[in-house]
């Protein structure tokens, strides 16, 4: 992967070992609410000045209410002579999320109504939840279940559902303007390394880096239980949602698959075009997927009453890879190089969003003379660092009409955004352009097929 940047390598590193962070969070049992969510947010808070919010059970949030808090201490299935066959302490996927307490001897037939397996993947434990079902259940490998032929078993789940709170984390970095980038991930899955923990780790690293600099945009990082967490945050922050100009939901960022980006509900939103541009210029395998109202929390942010420009950035797509929502989504499935690669793409994307300004030529009549302004020498000095070329500067000077953002220019010229940004700095220093004050209008996407890159040209 080649991501053009004029920053030193030390500034492009995440700053934390992403895989080590995933490994630390992996054993913790998480759900919509409870101790595990708080433990996970405490790990994030070691790296960020995280604001932790507690929203009481029963609080109305849009069409929902905050659920009862669920906590679990153990769960086992034993033979009547005491042999332990299934133990929550060995893997927290063994007990269905939000299982109510149960203690007693059940026939195999009775137990079967509460057992979840994967016959097509007989050695794996499935992940199942019953958030609002008032039920209980065990998840175990089908191969084990097929050996359990006793007439009865001792079944115990030591859990409680009681009034408490739903917990979520928020970290905000103010910018020079009121406009914000919203970055969210979910914190409600138990030991699933890719579909949960990879997003938390990468979001934490991105927030750490953004906190080191003051940008044009503000950055708001949310660590939410899925669905109810996003709905709660939206209900509590409806008055400021007009500040959200770009947004991303992060998930499944640690597997070796190609990148996938699900577009926002808005057609032609800047975030959608920016992600497509960064992935194309990075030269990595990827697929751009149209919006649909199913998936992660983008469907809450993109609901018609909000219609925020929020897409979903991932590698593996939910429900399409065999490890999804099984015990195979473990620390071996998540690769350090994949986590670092996801971070690098997203870091480049956030830099693009922050640097995406609009310029207007001071005098747009004709082509300015570059030689007497020393711009040829300036360009020559940038080339070894991956900076602007002469063609980049010419594209910038031609499209700096107050309507085209730097992203528009980069897409039209089919070059990395960083080179147009470098060209803009040269033109600004030479007093050939001035920035346009105010938010950049979202322009319709360009038809790239009608544009071809031109060789460098000579100008006197």
Q: What pLDDT is recorded for position 382?
A: 60
Statement to judge: residues 177 and 249 lie in one domain? yes
Q: Residue 142: which CATH number?
A: 3.50.30.90
Q: What pLDDT is recorded for position 13?
A: 56
Range of the domain at 444: 358-450
Q: Is residue 3 part of a domain?
A: no
Statement to judge: residues 129 and 31 lie in one domain? no
Q: What CA–CA distance (Å, rounded) separates 266 from 261?
A: 14
Q: Is residue 457 part of a domain?
A: no
| Tens of pLDDT, residues 147-168 | 999 999 999 999 999 999 999 9
Statement to judge: residues 40 and 99 lie in one domain? no
Statement to judge: residues 52 and 158 lie in one domain? no
In DSSP notation, 274-312 reads HHHHHHHHHT--EEEE---S-SSTHHHHTSTTT---EEE
Q: Is residue 230 part of a domain?
A: yes
Statement to judge: residues 53 and 82 lie in one domain? no
Question: What predicted TM-score, i.e. pTM, was given to this entire model?
Answer: 0.91
Statement to judge: residues 255 and 383 lie in one domain? no
Structure tokens at 253: 């960022």
Q: How many domains does the chain have?
A: 3
Q: Is residue 456 part of a domain?
A: no
Residue among 149, 95, 150, 151 nearest 126 (CA): 95
| Tens of pLDDT, residues 234-251 | 999 999 999 999 999 999
Confidence of residue 9 (pLDDT cuts 50, 70, 90): very low
Statement to judge: residues 181 and 218 lie in one domain? yes
Q: Is residue 455 part of a domain?
A: no
In DSSP notation, 215-284 reads -SSEEEEEEE-TTHHHHHHHHHSGGGGGGEEEEEEE---SSSSPEEEEPPSSTT-HHHHHHHHHHHHHT-
For residue 156, what are the β-bridge partners?
76, 103
Q: Residue 438: which CATH number?
A: 1.10.10.10
Statement to judge: residues 199 and 248 lie in one domain? yes
Statement to judge: residues 20 and 96 lie in one domain? no
| Tens of pLDDT, residues 122-137 | 999 999 999 999 999 9
């Amino acid at each position: 992967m080649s991501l053009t940047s004029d920053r030193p390598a030390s500034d492009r590193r995440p700053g934390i070992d992403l895989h080590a962070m995933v490994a630390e969070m992996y054993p913790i049992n998480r759900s919509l609410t409870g101790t595990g969510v708080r433990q996970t947010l405490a790990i994030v808070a070691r790296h960020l000045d995280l604001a932790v919010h507690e929203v009481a059970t029963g609080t109305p949030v849009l069409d929902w209410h905050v659920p009862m808090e669920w906590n679990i201490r153990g769960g086992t299935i034993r033979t009547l002579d005491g042999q332990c066959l299934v133990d929550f302490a060995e893997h927290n996927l063994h007990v269905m999320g939000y299982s109510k307490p149960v203690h007693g001897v059940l026939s195999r037939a009775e137990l079967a109504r509460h057992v979840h397996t994967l016959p097509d993947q007989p050695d794996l434990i499935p992940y199942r939840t019953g958030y609002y079902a008032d039920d209980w259940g065990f998840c175990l490998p089908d191969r084990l279940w097929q050996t359990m032929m006793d007439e009865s078993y001792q079944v115990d789940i030591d859990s409680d559902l009681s009034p408490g709170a739903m917990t979520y984390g928020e970290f905000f970095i103010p910018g020079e303007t009121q406009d914000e980038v919203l970055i969210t991930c979910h914190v409600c899955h138990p030991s699933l390394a890719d579909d949960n923990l990879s997003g938390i780790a990468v979001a934490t690293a991105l927030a750490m880096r953004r906190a080191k600099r003051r940008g044009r945009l503000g950055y708001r990082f949310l660590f939410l239980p899925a669905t109810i967490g996003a709905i709660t945050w939206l209900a509590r922050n409806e008055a400021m949602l007009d500040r959200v100009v770009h947004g991303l939901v992060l998930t499944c960022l640690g597997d070796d698959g190609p990148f996938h980006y699900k577009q926002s509900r808005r057609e032609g939103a800047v975030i959608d075009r920016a992600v497509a541009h960064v992935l194309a210029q990075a030269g990595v395998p990827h697929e751009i997927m149209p919006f649909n109202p199913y998936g992660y929390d983008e469907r809450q942010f993109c609901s018609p009453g909000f219609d925020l420009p929020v897409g979903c950035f991932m590698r593996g797509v939910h429900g399409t890879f065999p490890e999804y929502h099984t015990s195979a989504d473990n620390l071996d499935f998540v690769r350090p190089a994949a986590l670092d690669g996801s971070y690098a793409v997203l870091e480049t994307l956030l830099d693009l969003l922050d640097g995406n300004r609009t310029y207007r030529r001071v005098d747009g009549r004709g082509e300015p003379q570059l030689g007497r302004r020393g711009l040829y020498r300036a360009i020559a000095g940038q080339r070894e660092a991956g900076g602007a070329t002469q063609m980049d500067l010419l594209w910038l000077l031609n499209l700096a009409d107050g309507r085209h953002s730097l992203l528009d220019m980069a897409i039209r010229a089919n070059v990395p955004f960083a080179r147009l940004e470098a060209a803009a700095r040269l033109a600004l220093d030479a007093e050939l352009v001035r920035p346009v004050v105010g938010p950049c209008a979202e322009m319709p996407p360009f038809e790239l097929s009608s544009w071809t890159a031109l060789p460098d040209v000579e100008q006197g």
